[in-house]
A and B are shown apart, each in its own frame.
Chain A
Amino acid sequence: MSEAFTNQENSRTELISFRIGAQEFCVDVMSVREIRGWTATTPLPHAPNYVRGVINLRGVVLPVIDLGGRLGLSMTDPTARHVIIVTRIGNQIVGLLVDAVCDILTVSQNAIQTTPDLEYDTNKTFVRGLLPIDGRMISLITLENVLPAEAKAA
């Protein structure tokens, strides 16, 4: 992972930052297709609890993942003020349920610190790096593992 960063030492990336509970996270703006308000989902049978179900995104059946639940934080109790970030992961389109979208950040790649080794596995699975911005810590999320593991095998 670190090699990838050194290659693009000076390139700048745009990130979208959002909030879940008190924590801030961000994802690469290129993977975000659109941001929309929460709508009620159709629950899926036999799904992990963080899979909220599916919604209709202009004719596309879009699975919605409770990102807080997925990251091991508390599950979200969605209201009309919650937000679904529609992202592209590989060749699938997945919605991420978060509390609110905060900002668009432009940072250089070398401003991203690699994740320190912490005791929680979830950090390694989902957090690619950390960004110190104005005294806040923002975690850069990788999306590859957001869908349940079996989804990839399927």
Chain B
Amino acid sequence: MDPLAAIKATYFQECDEQLAELETGLSAMKDGEGDDETVNAVFRAAHSIKGGAGAFGLENLVQFAHVLETTLDDVRAGRLAPDGDLVNLMLRASDMLSDHVNAARDGNPVDQARSETIARELENYNEATKSGSAESDDEFDIDFAPIAVTMSEGDAAAEAAALGVREWEIQFRPRTSLYAHANEVTLLLRELQRLGTLSVDLIYGDLPSLQDLVPEESYLAWIIRLQADCDESRIREVFEFVEDDCDIHIQCISTCAGEIEVSHAQPEPKEVIVPQVPGISTAQADEPAPAKATMPMPLPANSANAPAEEEKHAPAVVSPQTIRVDVDRLERLVDLVGELVINQAMLAQRSMESGLSRASSFANGLEDLEHLTRDIQDSVMSIRAQPVKSVFQRMTRLVREVSAATGKRVRLVTDGENTEVDKTVIERIADPITHLLRNAIDHGIEKPDIRIAAGKPAEGVVRLSALHRSGRIVIEVVDDGAGIDRKRVKAIAVEKNLISADVNLSDEEIDNLIFMPGFSTASSVSEVSGRGVGMDVVRRNIQSLGGRITISSRPGLGSTFSLSLPLTLAVLDGMVISVCNQTLVIPLSAVVETLRPKEGDLHELKGSAPLIRIRDLYVPIIDVGRKLGHRTEPLVPAAGVALFVESEGGGRAALLVDAIQGQRQVVIKSMEANYRKVDGIAAATILGDGRVALIVDVESMLAGQSVDMFRSEKRAAAG
């Protein structure tokens, strides 16, 4: 990758973070939780995206980001009140911005019409504030004029502030680090110029002779005079990214005198009111009632903004430091630590075998080593763990779009966003969650009028939550909609020939029908769901992750879809079994139950595998030893143990094995890396004794069985 492309890639990564920040902030504002810091954070996010886009010449992105940024700036400055409509608009704009970012990254076209509509709506707001503030300025003038005569000089300052143009003197001395951070003074000056008329003096007195000059040192300083109708925070903003790397002193010259006298005139301590002009005007407003009446409405909000601004500049905001690491390196580390753990276990076993006393110092050392390796393993795994937040955040947009498309009012409530799970899992849960949420809104939540008629609030609530439960992550999608329409589900299943019309099914069995392949509530194929991907695919995806999905639904009250997933895909919960003196592992997620076959439950059918009755279900017995070619003579079922398994595709069988050794978490190793795909084997793992054990592929075990016959039974029982 050439350097520019690499920088660009980093920029887009950062964009994702900024977009997430934007979304979080706006959502908080929507819920009325946003304080000034939220607004600032949102503004900074939009600002950074725009800044980077400008550097890469991404014109579309810059333009759109600029419009959004302007609006946010108005909100930040208190010129615009972030009411519901505006926040909603900004949320849509943030979606659009994300589209623009994606477009810039992947070269896909964006919905230009939509972009323009949103931009125009935003601009309308911007226009409104401009004209609005102009108006209030006028009013201010008119109303203020007669008062000003009787006022102290302090009011003159306020007047000047309101009138706008003032002269600022900025003493700016960059430190070496400013240049080291790739900032450039020219750009800052250019930015200042946008605020008003600029006159710049270069102070080069410190410049040594060429001989003594260190090229990387900073010797220059500037004195900048700026005539502009802005407040100090606006100027500070220009230096926002370099403020830690320079000495800067900003002073208002033209109104300075007034300012100082204001502080004398006021009982408040000087430092409160000096630095921020808006602070003065409001402090001023407390005293003469008429002035207060003439204040433009949003201004008081700005005074609250001032201390917040101060806080922001203080180092109090400590964000955790992060570094980006290549995933491959991490994988390698995880692999190595896995080996270390196995090696340590082997070493311990060998030392016991060699008759070493447990009390010996060597054994103690080994024990310490064991603790250490465990700790290392835990820390390494935690490096790969990420909060599900990244996935959850994407969902707010989805919910917005789906609810708009279906004409329903839906609020998404998320919970447990900081629940951590392995990166490999994170990547693969987004699709199932997306699908479940779509379903919940499309099929679960009712239209507002129906909800009101049912005595529920017009706005439906979909709750997305994550939590850790006994070594797994549980993700729930809960809606307060109508629940599963069991009559209709059953009718569809009958119509699609998935079940026969006369079977009696429990409520739970009916609910589970929606997971059957070929089941889709086709009468309502909308653009939202019904994209040909059914719930069966969701279930298969979840199961291929070693997870399970369950439903519970109450008519009129809503449905709950619950996903239970392993915390990582690098390890697997397995049942360790033996077959013909070989040790094998069967994924625990496939095992429904284990049993000892009794003679009476066995049934022989001509020309097919023997069947075993498990409660009221007949399933074929698969002799694992024979299937894998470890033995030629079949194992007598009663001499072994049967594992009742269910494959991802919904097939069921009883796997006959010699014995069960126990349950264990195993690290998954690929067979394909150095060999090839082996029929009946999913992967390999290394056991504590250092031997390789094969992990059985339940799906392919079941394939090639004559399944038709028992499938009809399975259907009757609603698999």
CB <8 Å contact, A46 and B336? no
- In the bound complex, CA of A60 to CA of B338 (Å): 11
Query: B630 → chain A, closest Cβ, in Å?
Result: 7
Q: Judging by beta carbons under 8 Å apart, are A61 and B692 in contact?
A: yes
- Identify the stretch in B144-152, B156-164, B278-286, B674-682 within 8 Å (CB) of chain A at 4 or more residues: B674-682
Scan residues 314-337 of chain B and give those whose CB is less than 8 A from a CB of chain A.
335-336
Q: A43-B630, A54-B692 are in contact. Are A60 and B680 (CB under 8 A)?
A: no
Contacts of B686 in A (CB 8 A): 56, 59, 61
B691, A45: Cβ atoms under 8 Å?
no
Bound-state CA distance A147–B670 (Å) is 17
Cα distance, A42 to B670, chains bound together (Å): 15
| Distance to closest chain A CB from B571 (angstroms) | 13
Q: Which of B338, B676, B691 has most A Cβ within 10 Å?
A: B676
> Does A63 count as interface, using CB distance less than 8 angstroms?
yes
Minimum CB–CB distance for B628 against chain A, Å? 4
Other-chain residue from A44, A58, A92, A150 in contact with B681 (beta carbon distance below 8 A): A44
The answer to whether B674 touches A42 (Cβ under 8 A) is no
In whole angstroms, how far apart are the Cα atoms of A148 and B679 in the complex?
14
CA distance A93 to B338 in the complex (A): 19
Question: Could you tell me the distance between the alpha carbons of A34 and B117 in the complex, rounded to whole angstroms?
Answer: 66
A154 within 8 A of B: yes
A46:B338 contact, CB within 8 angstroms: no
The answer to whether A46 and B692 touch across the interface, beta carbons within 8 angstroms, is: no
Asked if B694 and A42 make an inter-chain contact with CB atoms under 8 angstroms apart, the answer reads yes
Q: B629 at the A/B interface (Cβ < 8 Å)?
A: yes
Tally of chain B residues near chain A (CB < 8 A): 32
Give the complex CA separation of A151 and B339 in angstroms.
Answer: 26
Cβ of B244 within 8 Å of any chain A Cβ, yes or no, is no
Q: Are A61 and B673 in contact (CB under 8 A)?
A: yes
B537 CB, nearest partner CB in chain A, Å: 26
Contact, CB under 8 Å: B680 / A46: yes
Question: A47 interface residue, CB < 8 Å from B?
Answer: yes
Whether the pair A59, B693 counts as a contact (CB closer than 8 A) is no
Q: Which of B686-700 contact A (CB under 8 A)?
A: 686, 690-694
B671 & A61 in contact (Cβ 8 Å cutoff): yes
Q: What is the size, in residues, of chain A's interface with B at 8 Å between Cβ atoms?
A: 26
Contacts of A47 in B (CB 8 A): 678
Specify which chain B residues have a CB less than 8 angstroms from the CB of A61 in the assembled complex.
669-671, 673-675, 684, 686, 692
B672 on the A face (CB < 8 A): yes
Task: Evaluate whether A56 and B676 lie within 8 angstroms (CB atoms) in the complex, with A45-B681, A46-B629, A61-B671 already known.
Answer: no
Given contacts A42-B692, A43-B582, A45-B681, contact A59 B336 (CB under 8 A): yes
Chain A 100-122 per-residue mask, 1 if CB under 8 angstroms from chain B, else 0: 00000000000000000000000
Q: Which residues of A contact B335 (CB under 8 A)?
A: 59
The minimal Cβ–Cβ distance linking A91 to chain B, given in whole angstroms, is 9
Assess whether B691 is in contact with A147, with CB atoms less than 8 Å apart: no
Q: Which residue of A lies closest to B580 (CB)?
A: A43
Q: Which of A42, A55, A151, A154 contacts B582 (CB 8 A)?
A: A42
Residue contact A45 to B669, C-beta cutoff 8 Å: no
CA distance A41 to B693 in the complex (A): 10
The verdict on B342 contacting chain A, using a C-beta distance below 8 Å, is yes
Cβ contact of A92, chosen from B673, B678, B690, B691, cutoff 8 A: B673
* Shortest beta-carbon distance from A88 to chain B in Å: 10
**Distance between A37 CB and nearest chain B CB, rounded to angstroms:** 14
Chain A residues with Cβ below 8 Å from B691 are 40, 42, 56
CB B683 to nearest CB in A, in angstroms, measures 9
Interchain nearest-CB distance for B255 vs A (Å): 72
Chain A nearest CB, measured from B453 CB (Å):
60
CA distance A54 to B693 in the complex (A): 9
Complex Cα–Cα for A150 and B675 (A): 10
The residues in B between 359 and 413 inclusive whose CB is less than 8 angstroms from any CB of A are none
B692 touches A55 (CB 8 A): yes
Whether the pair B677, A154 counts as a contact (CB closer than 8 A) is: yes
CB contacts under 8 Å to B, within A25-55, are 40-47, 53-55
Q: Are A45 and B630 in touch, CB under 8 angstroms? A: yes
Task: Give chain B nearest CB distance to A65 CB in angstroms.
Answer: 10
A151 CB contact (under 8 Å) in B628, B669, B676, B692: B676
Cα–Cα, bound, A93→B673 (Å) = 8
Please indicate the chain A residues that have their CB under 8 angstroms from the CB of B670 in the complex: 61
Chain A residues with Cβ under 8 A from B679's Cβ?
Answer: 45-46
A84 to B252 alpha-carbon distance, docked (Å): 82
Query: In the complex the two chains form, what is the Cα distance from A47 to B582 in whole Å?
Result: 15
The CA-CA distance from A47 to B681 in the complex, in Å, is 12
Contact of A59 among B669, B676, B678, B681 (CB under 8 A): B669
> Is A54 touching B676 in the complex (CB atoms < 8 A)?
no
In the complex, are the beta carbons of B692 and A58 less than 8 A apart? no
* Cross-chain contact A147 with B675 (CB below 8 angstroms): yes
Bound Cα distance A24, B440 (Å): 70
Q: Which residues of A contact B628 (CB under 8 A)?
A: 45-46
Chain B residues with CB under 8 Å of A93's CB are 674
Contacts of B342 in A (CB 8 A): 56, 59
Contacts of A151 in B (CB 8 A): 675-676
A15 contacts partner chain B, Cβ-Cβ < 8 Å:
no
Determine if B694 and A63 form an interchain contact, defined as CB atoms under 8 angstroms apart.
no
Q: In the complex, what residues of B have CB within 8 A of residue A141's CB?
A: none
Residue A127 at the chain B interface, CB threshold 8 Å: no
Kindly provide the distance from the CB of A144 to the nearest chain B CB, expressed in whole angstroms: 15
Asked whether any CB of chain B lies closer than 8 Å to the CB of A140, the reply is: no
Question: Is B676 within 8 A of A150, CB to CB?
Answer: yes
Contacts of B680 in A (CB 8 A): 45-46
Complex CA gap A94/B675 in Å reads: 8
Residue of chain B at shortest CB distance from A62: B674
What separation, in Å, do the CA atoms of A94 and B676 have in the docked complex?
12
B692 proximity list for chain A (CB < 8 A): 41-42, 53-56, 61
C-alpha spacing A41/B691, complex, angstroms: 8
A54-B684, A56-B690, A61-B673 given; A46·B678 CB < 8 A = yes
* A148 nearest in chain B by CB position: B676
B678 — nearest CB in chain A belongs to which residue? A44
Q: Which residues of A lie under 8 Å from residue B681 when comparing CB positions?
A: 44-45
| B684 CB contacts on chain A under 8 angstroms | 42, 54, 61
CA distance A154 to B627 in the complex (A): 21
Chain A hits for B583, CB < 8 A: 42
Task: Name the residue on A nearest B337 (C-beta).
Answer: A59
Residues on the A chain within 8 Å of B693, using CB: 42
CB pair B675 A63 closer than 8 Å: yes
Residues of A within 8 A of B678 (CB): 44-47
Q: List 17 A-B contacts (CB under 8 A).
A: A42-B691, A42-B692, A45-B627, A45-B678, A45-B680, A46-B678, A58-B343, A59-B338, A59-B342, A60-B674, A61-B686, A63-B674, A94-B674, A147-B676, A150-B676, A151-B676, A154-B672
Since A42-B694, A45-B679, A46-B679 are in contact, a sample of 14 more A-B pairs with Cβ atoms closer than 8 Å, ordered by chain A residue number, is A40-B691, A42-B582, A42-B583, A45-B630, A45-B694, A46-B629, A54-B684, A54-B692, A56-B690, A56-B692, A58-B339, A60-B669, A61-B670, A151-B675
Going nearest first, the 5 A-B pairs with the smallest beta carbon separation are A59-B339, A45-B628, A154-B676, A151-B676, A63-B675
A residues neighboring B (CB under 8 Å) = 40-47, 53-56, 58-63, 92-94, 147-148, 150-151, 154
